[in-house]
């Protein structure tokens, strides 16, 4: 009898949660990596999950439906899971996505901080960086707004504060 190769579909939980035997399965890193790439691809197909400027991004019901679609693709036995199992697995997938996005943002920040002519670092780039480049337009830092726009506003503040910087009592 020949051994069949293990396939990603044999382990539907992204390396998270429970295996078919009920044991926690954190040791399936190769399988998890295949599912992680699939997770990234599935999220990319659904911009409302990551583009904050879309109206649908703020709609909880639409996002819930989109995450369920992602789960249906990633978890082969999604239809057979109980409501609680679906909820647990769905949260695991969303947690994994949040972690991926955070790691990508951290790597993007690290790459932007490298100055021209600086010696190359010996650190390895984030493994999913190239695959997640579609997030760059969504991750650009927003410009900060000043709370005090002009010097006239500053003068008004000085007139309403006493000598130690606290507001005067308006009596």
Quick: pLDDT tens for 5-45: 434 343 344 444 444 434 344 333 334 667 999 999 999 99
pLDDT (0 to 100) of residue 70: 96
* H or E element at residue 31: helix 29-44
Q: Could you tell me the pLDDT band of residue 128, with boundaries at 50, 70 and 90? A: very high
Q: What is the pTM of this model?
A: 0.64
Torsion, CA 101, CA 37, CA 123, CA 140, rounded to 10 = -30
Q: Are 16 and 39 in contact (CB under 8 A)?
A: no
Q: Which residues, 6+ apart, have CB-to-CB distance to 6 below 8 Å?
A: 31
């Amino acid at each position: 009898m020949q051994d069949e190769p293990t396939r990603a579909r044999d382990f539907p939980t992204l390396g998270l949660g429970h295996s078919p035997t009920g044991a926690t399965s954190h040791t399936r890193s190769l399988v998890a990596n295949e599912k992680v790439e699939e997770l990234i691809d599935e999220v990319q197909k659904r911009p409302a999950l990551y583009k904050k400027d879309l109206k649908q991004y703020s709609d909880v019901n639409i996002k819930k439906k989109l995450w369920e679609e992602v789960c249906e693709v990633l978890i082969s036995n999604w239809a057979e899971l109980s409501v609680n199992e679906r909820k647990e697995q769905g949260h695991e997938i969303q947690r994994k996505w949040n972690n991926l996005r955070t790691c990508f943002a951290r790597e993007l920040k690290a790459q932007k901080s490298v100055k021209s002519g600086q010696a190359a670092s010996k650190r390895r780039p984030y493994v999913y960086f190239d695959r997640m480049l579609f997030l760059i337009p969504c991750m650009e830092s927003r410009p900060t707004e000043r709370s005090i726009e002009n010097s006239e506003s500053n003068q008004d503040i000085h007139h309403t504060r006493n000598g130690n910087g606290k507001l005067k009592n308006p009596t």
